[in-house]
Amino acid sequence: MKKIELDIVALSHSVTQSHNYAVVLGEQEGSRRLPIVIGGFEAQAIAVAMERMTPNRPLTHDLFKNALDTFEIELKEVVINNLLDGIFYARLICMKGGEMIEIDSRTSDALAMAVRFNCPIFTYEFILDAAGVILEEPEEAVATPSSSAKKKKKKVKSNSLSQYSDEDLGKMLGEVLGEEDYERAAEIRDEIKRRKTLEG
């Protein structure tokens, strides 16, 4: 069965389930999108890795990656291989000493691991046929009200950061990472990046 490669194109609050998030995967060679509802913890685990943040202590997925690295097991790819009763199933395809090992996984955990290992994500045609949606407009145009409200809120917060010195921002970043407030950490990091761009 031919595999179709996907990229993570968005991570946002789920429109249908208020306490959950949706990770949106996009077909590399097409316009179809595969939205998957995940929990808050899993969304945080994916976001932390995508934003290249380093928590004070390893999160569960970091621990698992460290364990695989220690035992010289390489995660080669993640395959979303089934969809039953609205639930996605995935497998981690690993290599150790030339031997291929497949590990069953929840899809959200598999995606969190894929981001950490920077490995490809695949699925099959029948899954995209069943659960995929075709993107007809530019992604900016299909932003949900909650995500656009979040962007506005983020702008306000970022503006309030402009009053702090570089040294203060560095301290704040350390504090919020210690409190595991990764959303605020991302805002502080964005402000630091913005200043570096202006200086450059």
pLDDT for the residue 150: 41
Highest-pLDDT range among 83-87, 168-172, 191-195: 83-87
The torsion angle over the Cα atoms of residues 147, 42, 75 and 60, rounded to 10 degrees, is: 140
Average pLDDT rounded to a whole number, residues 50-75: 92
DSSP string, 38-88: E-HHHHHHHHHHHTT---SS--HHHHHHHHHHHTT-EEEEEEEEEEETTEE
Say which residue, 40 or 145, is predicted with more confidence.
40
pLDDT (tens digit per residue) in 15-25: 666 678 889 99
Average pLDDT rounded to a whole number, residues 56-83: 94
Say which residue, 59 or 178, is predicted with more confidence.
59
Please name which of 6, 3, 13 lies closest in space to residue 33, comparing C-alpha atoms: 6
Please name which of 27, 31, 48, 23 lies closest in space to residue 185, comparing C-alpha atoms: 48
Q: With 80 as the cut, is the pLDDT of residue 28 above it?
A: yes
Q: 98 by DSSP, 3-state: which?
A: coil
What integer best gives the mean pLDDT of the chain? 82
| 8 A C-beta contact, residue 121 and residue 5 | yes
- Range of lowest pLDDT (110-114, 166-170, 182-186): 182-186
The pTM (predicted TM-score) of the whole model is: 0.68
| 8 A C-beta contact, residue 53 and residue 185 | yes
Q: In the chain, pLDDT over 90 holds for what percent of residues? A: 46
Domains and CATH numbers, the chain: 3-142 (3.10.690.10), 145-199 (no CATH)
